[in-house]
Structure 1
Amino acid sequence: MTSTVVVREYAYLTTAPVTANTLDRAHICESAFRWLVELGQQFRRNGLPLFELDSHKLLRLDNYVGVLESPCGTVIEVLPKHTTEETSSAEARSLLKRLIKTSMQISVREADFANVQRFEMPIREWLITCFLSELEVLLKRGLQFDYQVREEEARFLRGQLNITKQLRESPGKAHVFNIRHDLFLPDRAENRLIKSALVAVCAATHDNDNWRLAHEMLSQLLQLPESSDPRADFKSWSTDRLLTHYRPIKLWCEFILNQHLPLAVSGGWHGISVLFPMERLFENYVAEQLRKAIGDKGAVRTQLATEHLCQHKGKGVFKLRPDIEVVIGDKRWIMDTKWKLLDVYNGGPTYGLSERDVYQMLAYGTRCLDSKGELVLIYPHWDLFPYTQLDAFHFSPTLRLNVLSVDLNIEVISLEQFVD
């Protein structure tokens, strides 16, 4: 039996009894707890701290958001912690969907979600709904077929006679023709992956509308085989212009089949589990907002890695990797995003800024801007950082640091907020 636990970043999960589950502390069953511990050990070996294990009955989640599905049927939905106050799961879930859509550049057909209850569905069902919506559009346009060579024995000639093989046949099989011919079939990597994702959705969804629609579409793909090697098929996914209408559904297939880059949970168990590092989601969200605001006026690049902190034996060492670079005309801005709830009221004269972060920005300004220009630190907007911008910090007369907050509830952010 499936059970769902809804929490947010840095929440505690425990097998001990709790009075009532909240977004910051919730009870899970023993089997789900053991699975999380094993999963956390796999992540830690790859340098990714999924959580901190406080005791054999208590663990504390890190800053990953998304959904985890354990083999015992427990679904753990982890939402963003955008305020220290208790908030509704619907508000945090809406924020996460907006961040995913914007940062991953996903076009979601919101017009299909007329029902408010369906719009506020859990993240896993939302992912499934978006996949089914894209698949429905794709099936209406028609699947892409391809010619495939078939070699077989037949009692009649069809296509091309395989003379070499025919000459090697024994006299007793003189009445059989070895032929080679083409068949126009939908059996190609893209369609096999779609079929596999649809089968996974049919087994995973608990929403009546999703279940009905998924099985209706599965009946249209009964003759199509599933993917036996999803990783290889994703590598074979064609980028040909004839398959332009396949592009929107690829990302959803990656989500469903645990192949997506943010952090797909893989292994022996293949439930629908996808986690996103909140720092990367926030960074991508800000970068996409900047691209929309700038348009053709300039360029936005992310994860710039062209400079080093210093030189050693003629080679650059300690590579610098600022989150965002903005270029408009002859002006440049180096920006870094921080998914931290900055308390500017109780942080003293430095507003609670991390000394490490400020030193990092100084290194960016020195090496990337030659100590002349604008640096920007960007934090999420919340009750204790309600200002759009703090007073500037001056490293020198020619190099200054601006500290901004971004309101995640605003659909479109103006360029003036980021650059002067």
Structure 2
Amino acid sequence: MTSTVVVREYAYLTTASVAANTLDRAHISESAFRWLVELGQQFRRNGLPLFELDSQKLLRLDNYVGVLESPCGTVIEVLPKHTTEQTSAAEARALLKRLIKTSTQLSVREADFADVERFEIPIREWLITCFLGELEVLLKRGLQFDYQVREEEARFLRGQLDIAKQLRQPPGKAHVFNIRHDLFLPDRPENRLIKSALVTVCSATQDNDNWRLAHEIISQLLQLPESSDIRADFKSWSTDRLLTHYRPIKPWCEFILNQHVPLSVSGGWRGISMLFPMEKLFENYVAEQLRRAIGSKGTVRTQLATEYLCQHKGKGVFKLRPDIEVVIGDQRWIMDTKWKLLDVDNGGQTYGLSEKDFYQMLAYGSKLLHSQGDLVLIYPAWKNFPSNENISPFEFDNQTTLLVTSFNLNDNTRTNDCRWNLTLAESFAQVHN
């Protein structure tokens, strides 16, 4: 029996009794708890802190968001913590969907899911709905077939006779022909992965509409085999122009088949799970919104890695990796995103900013901007750091300035709703003019 637990980042999960589950504290079964502990140990060995074990009955999640499905049927949905106050799961879930769609540049047919969204379906069912929607479109265009070489023995000639094998045929089998021929089949890596994802969806979905549609589609693909080696088939996924219509469904297959979960999670159990580090989702979301806002006026690059902090014996040491670089004309900004609720009202003279982050930005300014230009730290907007509030610029020297701004994560997808603080907005406006 499947049970769903909905929490948010840094929530506590416990096997002890809880008066009522909330987004910050929830009860899970002992079997799910033990599975999470084992999973967390695997994550930690790979340098990924999934959570902290506080006691034998209590663990605290870290900043990973998404869905985890345990072997006992417990589905744990982890949503973003974009405010310190209690908020509705629907609001946090809508934010996570928007971050996933934008930061991973997924194609989602919103018009098809308008009615479904009103029912506040969980992230896992939303994922399945998107996958099935893309699969329907793909099937209307037709699966890609390919010629497969078959070598077999037959009592009739078909294709090409294998002379070498035929000459070695024993007298008792002289009437049997060794033939080689081509069959036009849909047995391709892409189709095998789609079939495997569809089989997973059929057994995992709890939504009536998804269940009905998934079983309707799988009845059309009964002759198609499943993938026997998922990773190898993903590596063999063709980017040929004849398979352009396959591109939208690939990321959904990756989600369904656990390709967006670290390698340590993979094993005998394969539920539908996807995990994202929240800081990476936020970084990608901000970068994509910047691209939309700037358009053809400039360029936006992420994870720039062209400079080193210092040189040692003629080689660069400690590569610098700023999150975002924006270039408009002869103006250049180096930006870092921080998924942290900055308490400007109660943070004192430094607003709760990290000294470590300032040293990091100073290194970016020195090596990437040559101590001339603007650096930017971007935080999510919330009630104690709203998008219309300004923090006076920090000056490293007369030519290097650090701007601290908030980014509005409200449900706004239009470019004009990508709000920045006054200082940064004025800087962009001067360049645009």
Superposition TM-score tier, normalisation by shorter sequence? over 0.9
CA contact (8 A) 1:262 1:277 kept: no
5 Å-filtered alignment, 1:21-420, equals 21-116=21-116, 120-260=120-260, 265-388=265-388, 389-409=390-410, 410-414=412-416, 417=420, 418=424, 420=427
CA deviation string 1:233-264 (max 9, x = no partner): 00000000000000010000000000126788
Q: Tell me how far apart the structure 2 counterparts of residues 84 and 107 of structure 1 sit (CA, whole Å).
A: 31
Q: Is the 8 A contact 1:264 1:274 kept in 2?
A: no
Q: Counterpart of 1:272 in 2: which secondary structure? A: coil
Which letter does structure 2 place at the counterpart of 1:343? D
Question: Which stretches of structure 1, 4 residues or longer, exceed 6 Å deviation after superposition?
Answer: 261-264
TM-score normalized by structure 2?
Answer: 0.95
- Return the offset for 1:266: 1.6
317-326 vs 409-418, which deviates more?
Answer: 409-418
Structure 1, unpaired ranges of 5+: none
Note the C-alpha offset of 1:112.
Answer: 1.1
Q: 1:56 Cα deviation (Å)?
A: 0.3
- Residues 262 and 276, structure 1, Cα contact 8 Å, conserved in 2: no
1:396 aligns to what SS in structure 2? coil
Q: Counterpart of 2:380 in structure 1: which amino acid?
A: P
Q: Secondary structure at the match of 1:317?
A: strand
> Against the structure 1 CA distance between its residues 263 and 363, is the aligned structure 2 distance closer, same or farther, given a 3 Å change threshold?
farther
Q: CA RMSD in A?
A: 1.4
Q: C-alpha distance in 2, partners of 1:57/1:156?
A: 69
The amino acid of 1:307's aligned partner reads E
> Contact 2:261/2:275 (CA < 8 Å) preserved in 1?
no
Residues 334-375 of structure 1 show CA distances to partners (whole Å, capped at 9, x for unaligned) of 000000000000011211111111111111101110000010
User: Does the 8 A contact of 2:261 with 2:273 survive in 1?
Assistant: no
Residues 118-156 of structure 1 deviation map (CA, whole Å, 9 limit, x = unaligned): 552000000000000000000111000000101111111
Q: Which is further off, 261-270 or 33-42? A: 261-270
Q: Give the 3 Å change call, closer, same or farther, for CA 116–209 of structure 1 in structure 2.
A: closer
Amino acid at match of 2:306: T
**In structure 2, distance between residues paired with 1:261 and 1:61:** 16
Letter of the aligned partner of 1:403 in structure 2? Answer: V
* CA drift at 1:302: 0.8
Q: Identify the range of structure 1 (408-417 vs 185-194) with the bigger mean alpha-carbon deviation.
A: 408-417
1:65·1:80 contact (CA, 8 Å) conserved in 2?
yes
Q: Distance in 1 between matches of 2:342 and 2:14?
A: 28
Contact 1:251 1:260 in 2 (8 A): no
CA separation of 1:53/1:416 partners in 2, compared to 1, >3 Å: closer, same or farther? closer
Identity level (%) = 82
